[in-house]
Amino acid sequence: MSYIRLFFMSLAAKSILCDDCFFYDFESNFEYLFAKNGSLCQLLPSKWNIGNYADISLQPPHYRSEKFIKPSDTVSCISSQTFAAESSGVIEVKVYMESSLATDQITVLVNQVVPGGNDAVVATQQLFSMNQDFENGWHLLKMPLGGVGSYDAFISFLGSSAEGSIVLIDSFRYLSPTATDGQCIFYEEDLEPTTTEPTTTSRPVDQGCLTFDFEDDFSGLFTSNNDLCTGFPSWHLANYSTIGMDSADPKTDVFIAPNEYSSCIASFPFAMTPNGVIQVNIYIEPKSALDHIIVLAKKLVSSGTDTVAGFKIYEPSVNSFTTGWSVLEIPVIDFWTFNGYLVFLGAASEGSTVLVDSFRYIPPNYSPDNESCAIY
């Protein structure tokens, strides 16, 4: 791949990042997206947990919604991963409360991450069953965000539910100041079977796949100067011919390989979208149980530590392990499109073969058979 192509890809990445909104429904990846243990929730050990409408006597707000989160009977706290937000954007949270005791409550806090300082609350909303005008049923908690300009934000939910009460959060969405109410609606209806293309999208029509084969530009596009890689040796480039092995494809001569001790390297940044998939073509012929490859998809967080948006560990002890060629598949998990990069960790004991030949990123709802997805 040439620098020219990368240049255009990074331009494309910028426009993709102009998405206006996201919607999160708690139907999947909850543990991943709410793993943040911020200062607020550290003080409150009780967490929210996933619940199923099938287990309670309540109709979900939409047939596509099967799950929600619920607090315990002591004040429970949970915080999300960070997401890009903007002053004057809006958060809307769909909640349900059927109260049997005046202590039932939900508090939503949106926090701005302040680098090197204390996180600042930029929006808050509360639903207390003890309030005089409280009514049982569905509520949409709507809150405009304060702060200035763009920043990294995260959302925290505090709540408690007495035995016999129903207190739950079904879903929430974030709308940027330029988003309209019709975008990122709470649950998309199924498309008509005759419709092949969604009629509205805020994304460029064809963002295509990103492919990388290590044939050129490796030293310029990969770095071991990365938080995670500090203290580790780097991976190195090598040729199939020098190890007497058939290459993955006639068009490729090179791959990267780790050293005997855990090696680390990070890729150039590129835009990733939730439900996109990273596929890494690897080869392992182990001589030791310590041989391994770990691939992490990391999200760039300008205001703090980069977070993990997906990962795969591959070593002889994993169930799916097979000697030889494998494709490691890493689904991207986050609230919305972000700039991220890949980190490769690996080790190859003496006499074993451990290598990464190439990788590609396939955007969501994009066919890997598309021409732009072919690595060779």
* Residue closer to Ca ion (CB basis): 151 or 172: 172
Which CB, 179 or 375, lies closer to Ca ion? 375
- Which residues does residue 341 pair with via DSSP β-bridges, in sequence order? 298
Closest separation between CB of residue 3 and Ca ion, Å?
18
Tell me the sheet residues that pair with 84: 152
Q: Which range in 138-146, 173-181, 211-219, 265-273 contacts Ca ion by CB under 5 A?
A: 211-219
What is the spatial distance between Cα 180 and Cα 213, in angstroms, rounded to a whole number?
A: 40
Tell the smallest beta-carbon distance from residue 120 to Ca ion (Å).
29
Spatial separation of the C-alpha atoms in residues 211 and 255, rounded to whole Å: 14
Interface pattern 323-352 for Ca ion (x via CB under 5 A): ------------------------------
The span from the CA of 65 to the CA of 52, in Å, is 9
- Tokens describing residue 72: 């315990």
b/e sequence 263-283, b meaning 16+ C-beta within 10 Å:
bbbbbbbbbbbbebbbbbbbb
| Window contacting Ca ion (CB under 5 A); options: 8-16, 21-29, 202-210, 342-350 | 21-29
Residue 214 binds Ca ion, judged by CB under 5 A? yes
> Is residue 170 at the binding interface for Ca ion, with CB under 5 A as the rule?
yes
Do residues 81 and 154 make contact, with C-beta atoms less than 8 angstroms apart?
yes
Residue among 111 and 171 whose Cβ is closer to Ca ion: 171
Cα 67 from chain centroid?
A: 19
Residues 220-279 that bind Ca ion (CB under 5 A): 252
Residue closer to Ca ion by CB (options 173, 298) is 173
Out of 16, 21, 22, 25, point to the residue binding Ca ion (CB under 5 A).
Answer: 25
In the list 104, 152, 213, 334, the residue contacting Ca ion (rule: CB under 5 A) is 213
Residue with smaller CB distance to Ca ion, 96 or 154: 96
Contact 349, 291 (CB under 8 A): yes
Determine contact, residues 344/294, Cβ cutoff 8 Å. Answer: yes
Query: 3-state DSSP call for residue 86?
Result: strand
Stretch that binds Ca ion, among 131-139, 145-153, 205-213, 328-336 (CB under 5 A): 205-213
Q: Tell me: does residue 26 bind Ca ion (CB under 5 A).
A: yes
Least distance in Å: CB of 189 to Ca ion? 15
The Cα 252–Cα 240 span in angstroms is 9
CB of 332 to Ca ion, least distance (A): 21
- CA distances for 150 relative to 40, 91, 303, angstroms: 22, 15, 11
Write down the least CB distance from residue 96 to Ca ion, Å: 11
Compare residues 61 and 233 and give the one whose CB is closer to Ca ion.
Answer: 61
* Binding track, positions 32-71, relative to Ca ion; x by CB under 5 A: ---------------------------------x-x----
Q: Which amino acid is at 62?
A: H
SS3 246: coil
Residue from 19, 119, 152, 357 in contact with Ca ion (CB under 5 A): 357
∠ CA(7), CA(83), CA(358), 5° rounding?
A: 40
Give the total of residues touching Ca ion (CB under 5 A). Answer: 11
**Is 92 a binder of Ca ion (CB under 5 A)?**
no
Residue 119 as a binder of Ca ion (CB under 5 A): the answer is: no
| Selected range binding Ca ion among 147-155, 177-185, 207-215, 323-331, rule: CB under 5 A | 207-215
Rounded to 5°, the CA angle 44-47-48 comes to 140
Cα 212 from Cα 197, distance rounded (Å): 29
Q: Encoding tokens for residue 350?
A: 């003496």
Given the rule CB under 5 A, which residues bind Ca ion?
25-26, 65, 67, 170-171, 213-214, 252, 357-358
